[in-house]
Amino acid sequence: MANKLIYVLNGPNLNLLGLREPEIYGSDTLDDIAALLEDRAGELGLSVDMRQSNHEGHLVDWLHEAQAEGAQAVLLNAGAFTHTSVALYDAIRSIRTPVIEVHLSNPHAREAFRHKSYVGMAAKGSIAGFGARSYLLALDAAAAL
């Protein structure tokens, strides 16, 4: 039987990870995180499909696609759209596939405008503040669903 599929979706500016602001976001690039996830997914008998876009609509389309493709779960770091996007809130609510909110930093320990999360209001759960390890913890949570 094929491995269960986990979508890992990343939002705006996360393509710059590892290149700027390492004191907040760490020094791993998104490719480094993808490699860590691939290794862990192999151990868990899962497959990961990792993507990044700076465009809100792409993230909405990929959430719909995750359900259409029968993904087991979606790990979603929506970047700044986390704090602004009713469209992502609606998209998460519109699919049955569980979505786990992921953040490198802890938005609650940062500026007030990061304290509201439209993604978190619709997600199954949230993991934040552990750098690249947040993604690995979220993958373990997804495996247990």
Question: Of 4, 58, 114, 124, which one interacts with ligand CA2 (CB under 6 A)?
Answer: 114
Reply yes or no on whether 118 is catalytic: no
Closest residue by Cα to residue 102 from 72, 68, 125, 70: 125
| Residue 123 backbone phi and psi in degrees, to 5 | -80, 160
**Cβ–Cβ under 8 Å, residues 12 and 54:** yes
Stretch that binds ligand CA2, among 36-44, 48-56, 60-68, 76-84 (CB under 6 A): 76-84
Q: Is residue 58 close enough to count as binding ligand CA2 by CB under 6 A?
A: no
Stretch that binds ligand CA2, among 11-19, 52-60, 65-73, 90-98 (CB under 6 A): 11-19
CA distance 44 to 15: 26
Nearest approach in angstroms of CB 43 to ligand CA2 is 24
Nearer to ligand CA2, 43 or 108 (CB): 108
- How many other C-beta atoms are found inside a 10 Å radius of the C-beta of residue 98? 17
Reply yes or no on whether 25 is catalytic: yes
